[in-house]
Structure formats: C-alpha cells, structure tokens
Amino acid sequence: MRLLTVPNWSFGRSPRLLRCFAEVLEAAPVAVHYLRGDIDHNRTVSAFSGEPEAVADALIGLADYAMESIDLSRHVGVHPRIGALDVLPFVPSGPEDLQEALAFAESFGKTLAERYDIPVFLYERSEKGRHEADLPSLRHGGFGSLLERNLNPDFGPARAHPRLGATITGVRDPLIALNVDLRHPVASTARTIAAEIRERRTEGDPTFLGVRALGMTLPSREMSQVSLNVTLPDLTPLDPIVEWIERRALSMGVASAGAELVGVIPARHLEHATRVPFAPEQVV
C-alpha cells in the first residue's frame, strides 16, 4: 500500500525548524510533495507519500522536532488550530487499501498519544462514534477552549497538553486546499466572501458543494485571503470557485492577487484547475 499524508504543524516562523523538517524528509524513503511554512498563518503544511512504515518513521522524525519546539500557549497566527501537530490526515491510493489505511491510522494515533502524552482524536473515515467526525467541529473554539474542559479523545489523556494541545488524525478522502489572496489589508471583504460561500454551500449551490471557506488577514503581506478546502473535488471543480471569488471581490472594489495550491492535487482534477498554479511534485 502506498499512503499519502498531509500533516499540518503549528509553526511557520522558525527557519531552523523548517530546515530540520527538510533534512528529515530528504533522508526518508518517501516522495516529498510539499513543504512550506507561512508567517501569517504561523503554520507549516507538509505532504509526502510512501510505504506505511517509511511514512510512520518520517512522521515520528518530524514530530520529535516539532513537539520539542512548539508551545501553543505562546502561539500567534491567523489559522485555527488545537495542536502542535494540528491535523494529520492519511489518504490511501485507492479504495482497495481503505481497511489497511484505517488500521494504520488508528495504530499511529495510539503511538502519538503514548509518545507525546497528548489527546488524539480520530476523524473522517476513522471516527468511531465517540465525537464529531469533521475537522471544523473538532477544532471549534481553538486551543484555548480545549484547555478549559475534559475531553473524550480516542487515545491519550482527557485533558489537553498545556503546550502541545491535541492532535486530530485519521483517514479521509482526497481534498484540495487552496487560497485566494486579495489586495486589501483588512479581512472584511475576505470574510464576507467566505460567509457567502458557506451560505451558498448550505443552499445547495453546485459551485460550492463541499467547500469550506474562511476569511483571514495577512499582515506581513498587507493583504487578506479566502482560505478554502474543497472536500468533494470530484463534484466541485476549482476554476469556477476562483473565478467567482475574483468577481465578487472586484464588485466590492478589491482586486485578486491570485490563487495558491496548498499541499497536493490529484492529477484527475488538473483539467479544471487552470487558475491555480502548482509545482509538478504537488500532483499525485
């Protein structure tokens, strides 16, 4: 089985830690698809694939560096998060590998909980009925809210780690993450657009089926951003989403600064993703 993982880490302002990550992945027998930190999000997204044992070894190598360095009690960034290793999805290469991937994700979640003394929640396909299955619900309220209550994780303690929070992991279907940047330093336009996308999704607009959207400020770039997760990419092509956002922003007097692919994109979706630049290694 070949397994893709796209771990999201709560750091984006440490060149030293990012170099450590690059060294771990360069030495590992995995294909590296993406590794990039963002100052404003204060978040690093990585994506790599390989045989399960190689993926597990690389993840532990990365997590050992991250868990030693990250302190969420002092963390400032625009992206929602509840953990140092905030979300750790696994995507099998095909439906025939689903059961093996589910077993792997559960085993690795238990390893994370025991190794770092953190609560670990299983989500999406791995969730077993103990709690919500979707990422926004599990991350609701953020790290601060997590510290104030008893938890019901699948593995690990019932209280969040005071520095590392909790981790969400499991098998999910392929999704596409992208950002559309706007040439406006205040997030009001981006947040209005994101709210309209969520409303249209709820109403069944086919352009936005399965689209999650947030509006954010990017202080270091004096811009703002509509951050998107397209969870049903087989039904929801990317180009109409980007085009709609650019038209809607322009109607409010704000120009687009272009789109950015975060992580990976399945090759079968490239035909309808002409407005989203990508590097060859991001295609899986």
Task: Answer for the pair 226, 245: CB distance below 8 angstroms, yes or no.
Answer: yes
Chain-centre distance for alpha carbon 170: 12
Helices 238-251 and 188-203: crossing angle in degrees, nearest 10, is: 130
- Residue 48 structure tokens: 């790599």
Q: Is position 33 annotated as part of the catalytic site?
A: no
E strand intervals along 93-210: 120-122, 167-171, 176-182
Closest CA to 178 of 269, 84, 50, 63: 269
CA-to-CA dists, residue 106 to 90, 102, 157, 161, angstroms: 11, 6, 16, 20
CA atoms of 217 and 190, how far apart (whole Å): 8
Give residues with Cβ within 8 angstroms of 130, minimum separation 6. 122, 152, 153, 154
CA atoms of 20 and 68, how far apart (whole Å): 12
Task: Answer for the pair 186, 249: CB distance below 8 angstroms, yes or no.
Answer: no
The pairing of strands 8-9 and 85-92 is antiparallel
Closest CA to 41 of 84, 17, 83, 10: 10
Task: Answer for the pair 70, 79: CB distance below 8 angstroms, yes or no.
Answer: no
Catalytic residue among 33, 41, 75, 79: 79
Catalytic machinery residues: 79
